[in-house]
Structure 1
């Protein structure tokens, strides 16, 4: 392996001159610089980043811990949007800042996280990012105060800087748009009650109803999500059966995620209920492989994962620079409502009935 002294001999300069070219910390003539660079290219010389890191106390490295890689390989069914989109958003910002992102996958094992944190610190990572697969509370091992940490799609008791989806505002925006389209009986098939998103989205749902002067009816709010596919299908069958038998059934079903909405389409069609002519359906996530390929295409709310990743990377870079340490946590990111053909506009019919 070539050394700095080999480069100096071939370029016919001193080792000090080669060092100046590498580090940009002293004046070097254009011809001399070109001679040194040519010598490095001919010898295949690779500068020692470790040595420069020790001198500058900057490594240019950021450590990211995620389960996205394993999750993408092992998932047999689509759960919302893969958190890999968060990683892509982070990478986009890091590349623009000339930082190197080191990514470690947990393999679905929480007990690996302390080892991964320690490994990144041993490699002198300037900051750490932890990405969770869905909005949840987590517990991480103690990270030195000198190493900035940002959480994405999760939060902890230590009030670490965090970037989260604004679940309450997302559901509020969807229901408000449904009301504007003329719907007055809006059912909500929620995720599990123990998931952080559920009470937040339910609150957003109620906010929009109250804003429109519509009553909240607990009879049209049902849990529609379970971890196993077979159990979820039965849960949805029962919920939809009960909703359709109500004296005043809903005109639209809001689903906790797009995968649930896909199953709702199937259940409704098996019962001879047309989407959206007889029943409108809306989802949550904007999982495009579902939302854009269903027929009719699915109205949904985008989980802003790419934007969350970019926001988290910006937040970490500010912390590394010694800025923004007093900013409140967490940072909430809102995604837009994507209005597609799975929801029928009832305004024209409503106006016609009023005029008659």
Structure 2
């Protein structure tokens, strides 16, 4: 493997001159520069990144820990594909900044995270992003003296910078649109109550009713997510048996909405003529292919990834924070024909 001394000898210059050409940190004559570049090309010389890191304390490397590669969502999985989309948003920003993103997958094992962090530190990454599979609290360990960390789609109890989807705002916007369309009895089949997002979305549901001066009927809000789907069947039965059934039913995610279409049709209930349906996530493989296409709200996962990357870049550059934690990213309502006006 060629060294800087081989390049200097081939170009007839000193190693210091080769270093100046490589780092562009001092003036070098055009003829000399061309001779050095020609020698580099002929010898196939590759500069030592380790040496550059020691000189500048900047490796240009960013570490990212995720489970997006190994985690393949199953049907009914409440997580959809957030990790993959978040990683894409992160990559987009670091590519623009000429940073190299090093991705390590947990393989679904949280106990591997400390070892991955240690490996990244050995490679002198400038910062780390940890991407969770769904909105939740995490115990990611941030060590003193280590690279700065930003959490994406998760948060901790010690104030590590974090970026989260604004579940409350998203649900509030969706229900507000349903109310604008004339719906007053709005059913809500939620994800599991153990999920942070569920509580926040119920708050958003209540916010939209309060904004419109409407009371909330607690009988319209039912937990309905389980892998065997039986809670959805019983929850739907309870909604339809109410003295005044809902005119629209919101679901905790688009997969649940897809199942709801089938359950309603087995009962002879037409969507949206008799009951409208709304989802959550804007999982387009479902929302755009259902008939009728599904009204839903988009969780902006790519934007979440972009914002996490920008936050980390700001921390690395020692910019003023300019924001409180966590940063919450809202998403738009995507109106399709599964909801009809009343």
TM over 0.5: yes
Range 275-284 or range 320-329, more displaced: 320-329
In the TM superposition, what whole-angstrom CA distance separates every residue of 1:86-111 from its partner, at most 9, and x where no partner exists? 00100110011111111101000000
1:295 to 273, 291, 294: 291
Matched, 1:318 2:317: no
SS state at 2:277 partner? strand
After superposition, the C-alpha distances for 1:205-239 in whole angstroms (9 at most, x for unaligned) are 0111111122111111101112x2x2xx2111111
Note if 1:278 corresponds to 2:274: yes
Q: How much does 1:80 deviate?
A: 2.5
- Equivalence for 2:70: 70
In the TM superposition, what is the alpha-carbon distance from 1:12 to its structure 2 partner? Answer: 2.0
What is the aligned residue count? 341
Q: Tell whether the 8 Å contact from 1:81 to 1:303 is kept in structure 2 after alignment.
A: no
1:41 paired residue number: 41
After superposition, the C-alpha distances for 1:9-51 in whole angstroms (9 at most, x for unaligned) are: 2222221111111111211112221221121112111110100
Deviation at 1:143, TM superposition (A): 2.2
User: What is the deviation of 1:55?
Assistant: 0.7
| Structure 1 residue matching 2:62: 3-state secondary structure | strand
| Range with bigger deviation, 292-301 or 76-85 | 76-85
Aligned 1:142-181 pairs, distance under 5 A: 142-145=142-145, 147-181=147-181
Please report how far the alpha carbon of residue 76 of structure 1 lies from its aligned counterpart in structure 2 after TM superposition.
Answer: 5.4
Structure 1 position 81, deviation (Å): 3.3
- Deviations along 1:238-278, one digit per CA (max 9) or x if unpaired, are 11111111110000000000111111111111111111111
2:8 aligns with 8
1:77 Cα shift? 5.3
Deviation at 1:312, TM superposition (A): 0.5
- Cα distance between partner residues in 2 of 1:132 and 1:208: 28
User: What's 2:253 paired with?
Assistant: 257
- Tell me how far 1:146 sits from its aligned partner: 5.1
Q: 1:23 to 1:115 in 2, by over 3 A?
A: same
* 2:331 corresponds to: 335
Query: What residue number does 2:218 align with?
Result: 218
Residue 202 of structure 1 is matched in structure 2 by: 202
Q: What residue ranges of structure 1 are gaps of 5+ in the alignment?
A: 347-356
Q: TM-score, normalised by structure 1?
A: 0.93
TM-score normalised according to structure 2 size: 0.97
Q: Name structure 2 gaps, 5 residues minimum.
A: none
Tell me how far apart the structure 1 counterparts of residues 321 and 119 of structure 2 sit (CA, whole Å). Answer: 25
Q: Is the 8 A contact 1:153 1:163 kept in 2?
A: yes
Residue 155 and residue 32 in structure 1: after superposition, are their counterparts in 2 closer, same or farther (change >3 A)? same
Distance 1:239 1:143 in 2: 46
Tell me if structure 1 keeps the 8 A contact 2:62–2:101. Answer: yes
Pair 75,7 (structure 1): closer, same or farther in 2 beyond 3 Å: farther
Paired with 1:76 and 1:255, the residues of 2 have a C-alpha distance of 15
How far does residue 326 in structure 1 lie from its aligned partner after superposition? 6.7
The match for 2:28 is 28
Task: Give the equivalent residue in structure 2 for 1:349.
Answer: none
Q: 1:30 to 1:110 in 2, by over 3 A?
A: same
